[in-house]
Amino acid sequence: SDLQKQEEQGELLQPLIFVLLVLCSVLLYFKVSLMDPGFVKSEEEAEAGNSEEQSMVIPHVPSTIKMRRCGYCMVKQPMRARHCQLCQHCVRRYDHHCPWIENCVGEKNHPLFIAYLSVQLVVLLWGGHVAWSGLYFEQSWDWLQHNIFLLMSFFLIVIFTIVVLLLLISHLYLISCNTTTWEFMSHHRISYLRHSELENPFDQGVILNLWRFFC
């Protein structure tokens, strides 16, 4: 492959960058999967931690919509929070429970989750190029025996690249609208959205939505 040729010629910059990117993606994976996604820990924190977003949206939501108490962990849920049955906690700005990281994606780890997907996409695209550069096609059984694992790796990389790319695009779209996967999928079942005067009362324009999310 290209990286192997560069390593044999003593050109170690690109192989080193590739290894560092892989290491970075692994570290981001563990960081996102092990960190607190924004658990609502107590009633006092829930009441004191009303976000700026929540206070800004009150004029567009009927005053009858109040913070409700979770029937599972018995804390008052801030707006945009939801109880996760798998984590057994209410999560602030709940997006979804990700089976790949075995953790919720919420207020605290959502930006890092996007960073993880971005780094992973770069690693997959580069890995796909590396795998392709190592393939020299010949119509023989011996060639297939020697290259079967490289072929399988390439096809797996292509599949995972498509999945990660679609996931990243969908999340960036939702972030630009200042909505979450849960709110997008369950709009008709969420009281503060169903009774709101606006279709999406949290939307403040693409630029401000992205700024508030990442900065």
Active site (catalytic) residues: 98
Distance from C-alpha of 69 to C-alpha of 53, rounded to nearest angstrom: 20
3-state secondary structure of 173: helix
Is 206:176 a contact under the CB 8 Å cutoff?
A: yes
Distances (CA, A) of 108 to 57, 71, 152: 20, 23, 37
**Which tokens belong to 200?**
């999406």
**Helix, strand, coil percent values for the chain (each to nearest 5):** 60, 5, 35
Is 96:115 a contact under the CB 8 Å cutoff?
A: no
Please give the helix or strand (H or E) that residue 213 lies within, else none.
helix 206-214
Whose tokens are 């996931």? That residue is 167
